[in-house]
Amino acid sequence: MKNILILGGGYGGLKCATTLQKKLENEDVSVELISKHDYHYPTTLLHKIAVGTYSARKARIFYRHLLKRKNFSFFKDTITKIDIKNRQISGELACYKYDYLVISLGFEPNDFNLKGVNEYAFKLSTLNEALRLRHHIETKFKDYRYHMDEKDLVFVVCGSGFTGVEFAAELANHAKNLCEMCGIDKKLVKIHLIGRSEHILPMFRADLSQIAKEKLEKLGVNVVAGNVIECQKDGVVIENADKSTYEIKANTVLWTAGVKGSSVIKDSNLETRASRIEVNEFLQLPGYEDVFVLGDCAIANDRDIIHAPTAQLASQMGEYCGLNLIKLVNGEELKTKFKFKHRGTVCSIGHTDAIGMAFGKGITGEPAAFLKNFIENKWIFGVAGFWNVLKKGQFRFRSSY
């Protein structure tokens, strides 16, 4: 029996597994998915979990509920090393062999070796990290009257890409509710979004970037252009274009300024760039036709990266990989190269507002927010079915806080 081993249950790995479960007809093939968590969670919604507007209970989709077909298994383990030459994968709990390997271990925050980032800044890299930030934010509001420290109501977001903008907007929208519940003047809440230039959301064209900036400022977010050169226990140090520096004092700093591939890739002595593996046109590790690399772990050169959101790209990689694996186990030759199909990119500015690109045109407001929700629901439907869309999906009115 041939064994397909999938490392990581994010958008790429899970889509690969569910594609195989739906379309693999060969019963003499086993498929094993390994993840350090029992569940998949949408990384595109971590900002809502961190703010407290989407529950972690709804976010979780358990792998064992999804992989029910004969010869399909899930193992909970943390991968520590990949030995390609010996076809062996080491985890904290066991070692695994494979005939075909899919590496989809996701991303890690990239601190660019800046002082204080690891020590003092929150990151939105996992569901548990989002929950830790959520508890921290709620505590700052609930206990404000005990300490009366103005810095408890000041929030600094480092990075003006998707995650930073969506978190700042979600927090700005929800701050009104938090202040009302805790008896705090909304004017005391300060949210600073720091980016390297005036052009936030650099993946969008200039006019959409400007619209997003105006929407954020209308919500009360202070958009700052400058380089964060140090994170401190009570704030950040920012460098201007003229090399002058100043500080913003805050007791909450969120780092969203960059990501890199899993450190397991680098620790396994695989050739990488920023902990990512350069793959061929079939998403294979060069020289190893039995090894595929997906998502944030891969650098695919033959693709259009304009407006390419990580989740959408990883999902398409996962489906493509699953279909290729079916061909390989059936003894067929791979002929069709991977090509990314851009189906729209949307950045939420709160639950009912957004900006984005769809069908080559810019969209804003509630139509963009509707498209954002549709994209999220389409993903849930694709891997977990209609009833999970009803239970866990995104709709016009919130169903959980």
Contact of 288 with 278, CB cutoff 8 Å: no
**Sign of the torsion formed by the C-alpha atoms of 306, 311, 314 and 316:** negative
| Cα(197)–Cα(227) distance, integer angstroms | 8
Find tokens 């939420």 and name the residue. Answer: 348
| Cα(130)–Cα(51) distance, integer angstroms | 8
Contact of 130 with 46, CB cutoff 8 Å: yes
| Cα(265)–Cα(33) distance, integer angstroms | 18
Closest by alpha carbon to 106, among 42, 23, 149, 31?
42
Residue 29 bridge partners (DSSP): 2
281 is catalytic: no
Q: Which of 166, 170, 319, 376 is catalytic?
A: 166
Angle formed at CA 229 by CA 49 and CA 232, multiple of 5 degrees: 60
Contact of 17 with 30, CB cutoff 8 Å: no
| Cα(310)–Cα(329) distance, integer angstroms | 28
Contact of 17 with 33, CB cutoff 8 Å: yes
Residue burial 38-66, b: 16+ Cβ < 10 Å; e: rest: ebbbbbbbbbbbbbbbbbbebbbbebeeb
- Give the 3-state secondary structure of residue 263: helix
Give me the sheet containing 154-158, strands edge to edge. 122-123, 252-255, 154-158, 190-195, 221-225
Contact of 220 with 324, CB cutoff 8 Å: no
Measured CA to CA in angstroms, residue 153 lies from 140, 184, 395 at distances of: 7, 10, 30
Axis-axis angle for helices 11-23, 365-384 (nearest 10): 50
Q: Which residues are catalytic?
A: 166
